[in-house]
Each structure stands twice: as structure tokens, then as C-alpha cells.
Structure 1
């Protein structure tokens, strides 16, 4: 699993030939079963999770105990609660495996040491963090500036792999829609 991570990093930042061996000293490989929690709301987030194989979601519960999904992650994506990870305060989010998932886990207490040992990894993290922020801002723009149908169509066109793998009720939550609304959109498209 380390080689998948180094291959991904090399798309953004050059690495030395011995990068696999270096990362193996800092990264823990973990497998999570479908529906298993990587992080529970109310606990401090202690790690970044790189998805090698599988699918995860980050969500919180509303006052009415409705799940509000704020992030999905598939292969070659990271998932964490950056606020909790950096502030050391309890998370408001839970992170859960939607499918059986294999992760390369970078624990917070090892992160700075890894950055010192392999500065290219810090550069890589900066680039992916900037991209994640840009994607989050774009999502807010789409949520508030587009109709439900436009949000669904944009997501479907941009991330077809998610539409095939994510249950409809989760996709609806992420897009701020109801599952019934998505069913109507899909029926209209197939008519």
C-alpha cells in the first residue's frame, strides 16, 4: 500500500528513490470494514487517512439526528478532520468506511517528523490541501448558487465514480437534496 501512496505523491512532488522505505517508518497500514468508524464525533482526530482502496465519508448529525455528509473519499484521496487534527479539540464529525477500505494512516504525532525527514511530503500536503480548499469553496458555491438538479448533474459529470458507488441517500445528503428528488431527476433522465 505504501507504493500506491508514493506513486500518488510523485504526481505532485518529486521523491527520492528510497521514499517507500522512509514512508514505511511513518505510515501505518490499516483495513477498515464496511460501516466501521475511523473517527467518532466527540473524539479528537489523530490522523490523516489516505484511501488506497475503498470509500469513506465524513458526516455530522443535525439537531434532528439527520446525517449531513460533508466529504467523500475514494482511492488516492485523503480524509480527516483538519480542525480537530490541528486544534486537538474533539471533532464534530465522524468518518466511516462505506466499503471495506484499506488506508495508509499518518498519525499526527509522526507528521512533523515526517515533514522534517522528507520535505517533499510537506510540499505535497500543501498542494493537496490547497486543492481540497478550492474544492470545498466550489461546493459551497454550487450548494448556494445552483438548483438541486444542477447540483446533481454537476456532481454526476464531475465524479461519476461516486454516483456508481455511493448509496443514493448519502449522495442526497451531500448535495443537500432528498433521495426522492434524486430519484425524480434520474427518472426524468431515463424517460
Structure 2
């Protein structure tokens, strides 16, 4: 049994003990070393990963060979290349561990049968995807409407512990500016961060 996963599911839907057992039995436990590539462009994404411990990132490499991070995933977050999964096409992104990590993999081939046996999980995954989509929309809005410094201050106000775990160049890539600019921002005294919200 995986208490972390079950606690996360319980925030949205209530499963019976038998359903909890089936869910955990369906997941595959995987352990990865630091900086290990889990997915790379050209390969099909095997499924959706739920992080038990550690930290992962999802990123593109552009024509100038610069990495552009589109998502981080730490404990109790899901991560996957959904374009690959939904459209049955090769992945366009990398997924890599930043720290040594333990994750649960829900294989694509197993998800459909699992949802047929536990229909309540349809609601869980729908709500999880809705929250992720909202967070993505807000991030895009912040990229367009906030200055680089405002965006950084807002982010560290929401995730102060997380910022300490991420290398500076990766944080800069995610927030849309250079590591040099981030160094200058961090050298300043931070103002009081805004309250609440999701980034």
C-alpha cells in the first residue's frame, strides 16, 4: 500500500479498502538516481508518474540547444507527457530526476481497465488535471503580465522550500529569464511576498 498516494486521492474521492488495494496493486514502484532520464523525445511516454519522494523536471531543448523547463514535480505531484499519452505520438519532452527519486507509474495500458473497475478515479484524475491546467494558465498569465522580478518574488512567496531544492539555472529557465538575471534579483533584499494563489 502507498499511504501518500491514497491520501492524495482521498482529498478528492473516497475509495473502499478493496478499491485502495486495487489502485496500489496497479501502480509500479520505480526508483531513479539523481539526474536520470526517465523520458526523452522520440519515445512514447509509458504512463503517468506520481512522485513519492524526490524531485523531477519536464523540459524541451530548443533549436539553440537551450533547455526550457515547463514543469517541476515534487512529492505528491503527477508528471507525464500528456501529448504523447493522449495522441499516441512520440514524446516531445524530456522528463529527468533532479534528485534521487521514488515514483509510482500508472501504465497507459492499465489506466483504462482501472477506471472501469473504480469509476470514482475518473473524478480524481479530472480534478487533478483541472488544477494542473489552471496552474498552467496562471503561469502563462504571469509570464505576460508581471515583470521578471515580480514573477520571481511571487514564486518564492508560494514555494520557499521548493526554491531551495532547485538549481538556480533551472529555476531561471522555468520562470523565463537568465541565471545571471536571477543572481541579480537574489542579491536584492526580498520584499514581503503576496498572499495565497497558485503558480
Is the TM value for this pair above 0.5?
yes
Show the counterpart of 1:152: 152
Deviation at 1:130, TM superposition (A): 0.2
Aligned residues: 191
Bigger Cα displacement from structure 2, 25-34 vs 167-176: 25-34
Q: Does 1:89 align with 2:94?
A: no
Distance in structure 2 (CA, Å) of the matches to 1:56 and 1:159: 15
Distance in structure 2 (CA, Å) of the matches to 1:12 and 1:39: 29
TM-score by length of 1: 0.96
Contact 1:2–1:23 (Cα < 8 Å) also in 2:
no
Q: Secondary structure at the match of 1:189?
A: coil
Deviation at 1:133, TM superposition (A): 0.3
Show the counterpart of 2:182: 182
Show the counterpart of 2:165: 165
Deviation at 1:19, TM superposition (A): 3.3
Consecutive unaligned residues of structure 2, counting only runs of 5 or more, are 191-199
Distance in structure 1 (CA, Å) of the matches to 2:176 and 2:31: 30
Deviation at 1:25, TM superposition (A): 2.7
Q: Secondary structure at the match of 1:59?
A: strand
Distance in structure 2 (CA, Å) of the matches to 1:152 and 1:65: 24
Show the counterpart of 1:113: 113
Q: Does 1:63 align with 2:63?
A: yes
State the superposition RMSD in angstroms: 1.4
Bigger Cα displacement from structure 2, 142-151 vs 20-29: 20-29
